[in-house]
């Protein structure tokens, strides 16, 4: 089962969904997740989007969204640092509404910028050629 989370970066904290377990790769629910994130402009939009996604696809009963501080995020946006203790999922789908660009470092050591207003997806598997996969940033297919 491929796991995934929604993540929203705001100017003062980070909102993270629970882990959804099953088909969270792009050709599964990933495109739907990114399309929902494109419509997020506030933390309330994010919570509503996660809630609707859960209702339509998983029906989990747990609390769906938790928050982390920007200090926490600044450390763990370097995915080489304790990735499985802090993020764990196969796929992370981000929306940045913080008012600034954020630099991420993949587990393979590649730096990627997620600009304000952008939706981005990270996975910690590899392309069949063995390259780190960071993709479907803004050029993903609309459903």
CB atoms within 10 A of CB 70: 15
Q: What is the pLDDT of residues 103-132, one digit of tens each?
A: 988 888 888 889 999 998 888 633 223 334
pTM of the entire predicted model: 0.88
Report how far apart, in Å, the C-alpha atoms of 76 and of each of 57, 85, 88 are: 29, 10, 12
Query: Which phi and psi angles does 50 have, rounded to 5°?
Result: -65, -45
Q: Judge whether 119 and 37 are in contact, CB under 8 Å.
A: yes
95 or 134, higher pLDDT:
95
């Amino acid at each position: 089962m491929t796991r995934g989370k929604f993540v929203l970066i705001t100017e003062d904290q980070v909102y993270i969904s629970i882990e959804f377990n099953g088909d969270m790769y792009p050709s599964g629910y990933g495109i739907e997740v990114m399309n929902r994130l494109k419509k997020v402009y506030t933390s309330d939009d994010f919570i509503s989007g996660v809630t609707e996604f859960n209702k339509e696809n998983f029906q989990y009963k747990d609390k769906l969204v938790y928050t982390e501080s920007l200090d926490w995020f600044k450390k763990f946006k370097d995915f080489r640092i304790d990735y499985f203790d802090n993020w764990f999922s196969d796929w992370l789908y981000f929306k940045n509404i913080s008012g600034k660009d954020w630099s991420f470092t993949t587990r393979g050591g590649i730096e990627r910028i997620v600009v304000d207003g952008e939706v981005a997806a990270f996975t910690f598997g590899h392309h069949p050629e063995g390259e780190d996969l960071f993709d479907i940033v803004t050029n993903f297919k609309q459903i």
